[in-house]
Amino acid sequence: MKSIINILSIFISSFAMANIHLPAIFADGMVLQRNAEVTIWGNADPREEITLKADFLDKEYKVKTANNATFKITFKTPKEGGPYTISLKGYNEVSLKNVMLGEVWLMSGQSNMEMSAAWGIKDGDVEMAKANYPNIRFFTAGKSAAEFPQKDIIGNWAICTPENAKYFSAVGYFFAQRLHQELGNVPIGIITSAWGGSAAELWTPQYVFDKKPELKEGFKNLQSNENEYYPTKTSVAYNAMIAPINDYKIAGAAWYQGETNTGNASSYESLLSSMITAWRKEKGYEFPFYIIQLASYKGWGDATAQIKNIQRKVAQSVPQSGLVVISDYSMLDDIHPKDKKPVGIRLANLALTDVYQKNTTSKFPIWKSVEFKGNKAILTLDFAEGLHFKNKTSDQFEMAGADKKFVKAKAVIKENQIIIEAKEVKTPVFVRYNWGNEALPDLYNKANLPASVYSNEK
């Protein structure tokens, strides 16, 4: 009897057919990038033939599962539209319903990116009551850490309703709302993968640290601060919350992080630049990357200004990158500024100008160069039309000689240049603007957008 059971078991198992399994990012209500080569992937039996159909495609796509039980199907999406249905058929059939084609953006960072109306934002109840946009969809990644890159991600797609929106990233929501309206109601998909308190090292692939071991050395100061709310090991958030969606096509990404890295600011420039490069390498294309600069906060000392200046430098040196300045919305006694709507709108305006070629008022004054002539420093800015001081004069400029002993400097605007001097400094070498933990900007352009923190120190 036992031998008969064994024979039957072998016979049955030889005909067993594994169901198609898709990662969580592929689900009802999702948004796929329009006008792009997109990929859907998953698992099935080795050598199983998978057929993909969609009512926006004019042909079927077939592929056989590899010997490691994985498959990928790449196809070209048309212009925006929906709702559509996508079906994948092998030994079983999986249908993805209510799929939209539109613009997909990734939002990442720490608590200020994660922060939702449910946390308490300015005018949150009023704004969320209006958040009825059926063609805006959000995927919020669940917090997860892993030692090695994962294949699946925790999370689900949700349609933007007043009930759902209050739990979305507030910055992501206001960004999506602005894009949706300005692009003529094109569907918008926002993937939020953020973790409050997380250092940038958590979001950076391990091979970056293998190539640049000094970055891991710089992280030791933060690793010693064990925390019950977030992990303190390199790469673990990237492995679990970014790597699983590397093949998911996006239009661009936004990064709102840096608070935790005030503890090791010296390595942040190399780290952030390397992280952006690595993310792009893994996706296989140079997508736009926008950095939301930290607001001022009195609890960090000069490290606040250092991180903000590094964010400026990275945004100016890394191709296809940009900076969103928000210091004029600072709450000096709160690490989490409550007014998130201007942040989302400023971010969206940059994307509308750079990515979608819309004529929006979006460009912040950008520090272009510094030149020393005698006892004066001449700072030149781009996007400086209508450059002015908020209070007619400024006390935000400082100057120093080679000794780096900074003193207040007098500043005068002349078209797109600022000429500064200080009688105490005969041979200036260094200049800086808006430096310090409680410094608020006072230099704006015609669009009433503030200039970033600036220092020419290395």
Average pLDDT over all residues of the chain: 94
* Residue 434 near residue 394 (C-beta atoms within 8 A): no
7 pLDDT above the threshold of 90: no
pLDDT classification of 398: cutoffs 50, 70, 90: very high
Residue 219 sits in the same domain as residue 254: yes
Q: Which helix (H) or strand (E) holds 223?
A: helix 213-223
What is the per-residue pLDDT across 228-263, written as a single tens digit (0 to 9) for each?
A: 899 989 999 999 999 999 999 999 999 999 999 988
Residue 347 sits in the same domain as residue 408: no
10 pLDDT above the threshold of 50: no
Number of domains in the chain: 3
291 pLDDT above the threshold of 70: yes
Cα–Cα distance for residue pair 421/271, rounded to 1 Å? 34
Give the residue from 124, 102, 37 showing the smallest Cα distance to 72.
37
Inside any domain, residue 274: yes
Structure tokens at 355: 């990515």
Inside any domain, residue 19: no
* CATH code, domain carrying 175: 3.40.50.1110
pLDDT classification of 226: cutoffs 50, 70, 90: low
Residue 242 sits in the same domain as residue 147: yes
Residue 285 sits in the same domain as residue 335: yes
Residue 375 sits in the same domain as residue 347: no
80 pLDDT above the threshold of 90: yes
Residue 253 sits in the same domain as residue 141: yes
Mean pLDDT, residues 266-277: 96
pLDDT classification of 331: cutoffs 50, 70, 90: confident
87: three-class secondary structure by DSSP: strand
Inside any domain, residue 15: no
Cα–Cα distance for residue pair 377/220, rounded to 1 Å? 38
Percent of the chain with pLDDT over 70: 95
Residue 284 sits in the same domain as residue 319: yes
Model pTM score:
0.94
What is the per-residue pLDDT across 20-78, written as a single tens digit (0 to 9) for each?
A: 999 999 999 999 999 999 999 999 999 999 999 999 999 999 999 999 999 999 999 99
pLDDT at 228 (0 to 100): 84
Q: Which domain holds residue 271?
A: 103-354
Give the residue from 167, 148, 147, 146 showing the smallest Cα distance to 156.
167
Q: Which of the listed residues 97, 125, 150 is the one where a domain comes to its end?
A: 97
Q: Which helix (H) or strand (E) holds 341?
A: helix 341-354
Inside any domain, residue 309: yes
Residue 388 sits in the same domain as residue 328: no
Could you list the beta-strand ranges (E) of 47-92. 49-54, 61-64, 70-76, 81-89
Structure tokens at 169: 């990233």
Q: How many CA atoms lie within 13 A of 322 on its CB side?
A: 21
Q: Which of the listed residues 97, 126, 142 is the one where a domain comes to its end?
A: 97
Residue 244 sits in the same domain as residue 379: no
CA angle 311, 289, 451 (to 5 degrees): 40
Inside any domain, residue 304: yes
Residue 216 sits in the same domain as residue 335: yes
Residue 107 sits in the same domain as residue 93: no
Write the CA distances from 441 to 37, 388, 437, integer angstroms.
Answer: 42, 11, 12
Write the CA distances from 365 to 65, 271, 334, 454, integer angstroms.
Answer: 52, 25, 26, 11
Mean pLDDT, residues 101-109: 98
What is the per-residue pLDDT across 408-432, written as a single tens digit (0 to 9) for each?
A: 999 999 999 999 999 999 999 999 9
Residue 411 sits in the same domain as residue 283: no
Inside any domain, residue 220: yes
